Amino acid sequence: MPSNRRRRRTNDSFVVQQSFPVPRPTTNPYLVMLASSLDSIAGVTVRNFTWRGALLGSYDVFHVHWPEILVAGHSPLKALVRQALTVLLLLRLAVTRTPIVRTLHNLELPSGISGRERALLRLFERQTDLFIRLNPETPVRDDRQYALIPHGHYRDWFAAYPQRESVEGRFVYFGLIRRYKGVDTLLDAFRQLPGDVSLHAAGRPSTVERADDLRRRAAGDDRIDLTLEFLDDGRLVDTVTQASLVVLPYTEMHNSGGALTALSLCRPVLLPANPVNERLNAEVGPGWVYQYHGALTPEVLATTLAEVASRGPIAPPCLDAREWRAAGLLHYSAYLQATNAQAIRQLDAARG
């Protein structure tokens, strides 16, 4: 790792301006653990996001995770204000030649956004100096710089919470409920499953209409328990550890913190088959990641549950490549790489 870096200021601190604010109970633990792992590195300072700090503060690198959050608002006026501030932020970063690093949590732009939002996100993309891939399956382009940093595990995050014994025949879904998460498909498939089994689907639906639809699908089957609200960490651990099998039937899955949560809590997980999940299966060891091809069916649920029940004692999932201490150091290295790339571009421009 380079040690003789140039400083924007005379002090010793390398300042990372993150795109997320001071964490709240609903903040993604990934962001909190990332900030903590960076703060543990001598000479590195992490700043949480405020518009004032991002526009007027002094820092070495801007790290953005979901740039669409910066340009969205709960009302048209608020969205317009945030979009104007984003333009100012990008101008400020360009003028001060501050590198942008972006973590590629998602492959595509969000659906249902305005043309103005789409244009700003494209501008953000063009101005980004380095992209962080969370797994090797994320596509790359020849004209971009990348760093590969695996998504860290959640073992330490959940270590303080008591775990429950798994309930025989219990399927569990947890997490934010969006259209692409496939919870409606899970409910429909489960209802066709005979026998003494149960399903607990827990998480906050993205819309009132989605919540109403799930209640209609679950009506009349007392084996289904719906908890349609945000789960704090203690309730999440309680819910997940009661599972015989966690089911995450996403129609789009590239980076899943949910799968890593289940594995961090030593619960097997059923996922749609794709190269990312096949890599995860090979990484953690046999008996933890199960995959299905095509549609989620009652037969898939029954067969996978039977496989889990018959597997016998096995070693815990191997998550050694996802330690947060290493992730923090790799992020720091990526920031330095982006800073050096920015300096090289400035030198090339000066040379004409």
pLDDT digits (tens, 9 = 90+) for 278-301: 999 999 999 999 999 999 999 999
Contact 114, 83 (CB under 8 A): no
Banded model confidence at residue 6, pLDDT cuts 50, 70, 90: very low
**The total number of residues written for the chain in this structure:** 352
Q: What secondary structure does DSSP assign to 97-136, as a single string?
A: T--EEEE-S-SSPPTT--HHHHHHHHHHHHH-SEEEESST
Helix runs in 144-207, H state only: 155-158, 183-191
State the Cα–Cα distance between residues 60 and 221, nearest whole angstrom. Answer: 56
Question: For the segment 23-62, what is each residue's pLDDT rounded down to a tens digit?
Answer: 998 899 999 999 999 999 999 999 999 999 999 999 999 9
Domain 155-321 top-level CATH class = alpha beta
Report the pLDDT value the prediction gives residue 352, as an integer from 0 to 100: 60
Res. 107 pLDDT band, cuts 50 70 90:
confident
pLDDT value at 5 more than 80: no
**Digit-coded pLDDT (tens) for 322-349:** 999 999 999 999 999 999 977 666 666 6
Selected from 2.30.29, 1.10.3470, 3.40.1580, 3.40.50, the CATH number assigned to the domain covering 14-152+323-351 reads 3.40.50
Residue-averaged pLDDT of the chain: 93
pLDDT at 193: 96
Domain(s) labelled CATH 3.40.50.2000 in the chain stretch across 155-321
Q: What is the pLDDT of residues 206-250, one digit of tens each?
A: 999 999 999 999 999 999 999 999 999 999 999 999 999 999 999
pLDDT at residue 350, as a whole number: 63
59 within 8 A of 17, measured Cβ to Cβ: yes
Torsion of CA 190, 195, 201, 207, to 10 degrees: 40
pLDDT at 2 over 60: no
Q: Which amino acid is at 96?
A: T
* Residue 61 token pair: 């690198």
Q: Half-sphere exposure of residue 352, counting CA atoms within 13 Å on the CB side?
A: 0
Per residue in 157-197, pLDDT (tens digit) is 999 999 999 999 999 999 999 999 999 999 999 999 999 99
pLDDT band per the 50, 70, 90 thresholds, residue 111: confident
- Percent share of the chain, pLDDT over 90: 86
Q: Is 271 helix (H, G, I), strand (E, B) or coil?
A: strand
Helix or strand (DSSP H, E) at 270: strand 269-272
Give mean pLDDT, residues 262-288. Answer: 97
DSSP codes, 286-351: TTSEEEE-SS--HHHHHHHHHHHHTS-S-PPP--GGG-HHHHHHHHHHHHHHHHHHHHHHHHHHHH
What's the pTM value of the predicted model, to 2 decimals?
Answer: 0.90
- Coarse DSSP helix, strand, coil percentages of the chain, rounded to the nearest 5 percent: 45, 15, 40
The pLDDT, as a whole number, for residue 264 is: 98
